[in-house]
Amino acid sequence: MKDLKLNIDLLPKGAWNNDFSKSLPKKDWDKLRENCYRKANHRYQICGYQTDRLDAYEMWEFDNRRKTQTLKDIIAICTKCYGVIHFKNTTRLGFREETKNYFCKLINCSEMEFANHLNQAIIEYNERNNIFRWKIVAELERFGGKDID
């Protein structure tokens, strides 16, 4: 079930708090966030729901061999899609069933397909957790971050 419009993508422990929303000065993150919202045209980019209440989400790609965490995109996302991506945390908070059902409905898949997708995500998560420090690679200019160091 690769290349779905929505994936469970569990963030490895070594990458926690590596996100720009926390590490950049507020004015710089706001610049990236506003560019994301403009690009999204007031729609969540995964589920398509239209709203003026957008949240920016950083999509990362991990290369275990090179130990790199590369910024793929910054997209507008809803809390339900965010819950799927971070399914381990969603489960901890008590929203496992609702989130699983949302994923199955949005992707149009069975519970068995969901379970297979979750198992693959857990395998990748466990492999990534063998790396304690990730090198961040990000071309912020691609995301509207010209002049951000």
Question: pLDDT tens digits for 15-34?
Answer: 988 889 989 999 999 999 99
Instruction: Enumerate residues 6+ apart whose C-beta is below 8 A from 144.
Output: 31, 32, 34, 35, 36, 38
Element (H, E) at 37: helix 26-40
Q: Is residue 58 part of a domain?
A: yes
Read off the pLDDT band of 3 (50, 70, 90). Answer: low
Q: Is the pLDDT of residue 1 over 60?
A: no
Q: Is residue 42 part of a domain?
A: yes
pLDDT tens digits along 55-100: 899 999 999 999 999 999 999 999 999 999 999 999 999 999 999 9
CA distance 82 to 42: 17
Q: Is residue 28 part of a domain?
A: yes
The whole-number pLDDT of residue 11 equals 92
The whole-number pLDDT of residue 49 equals 86
User: Which domain covers residue 81, as residue numbers?
Assistant: 13-133
Model confidence, pTM: 0.88
Q: Is residue 101 part of a domain?
A: yes
Whose structure tokens read 């720009």?
A: 20
Number of domains in the chain: 1
Q: Is residue 138 part of a domain?
A: no
Neighbours of 54 (CB within 10 A): 20
Q: Is residue 144 part of a domain?
A: no
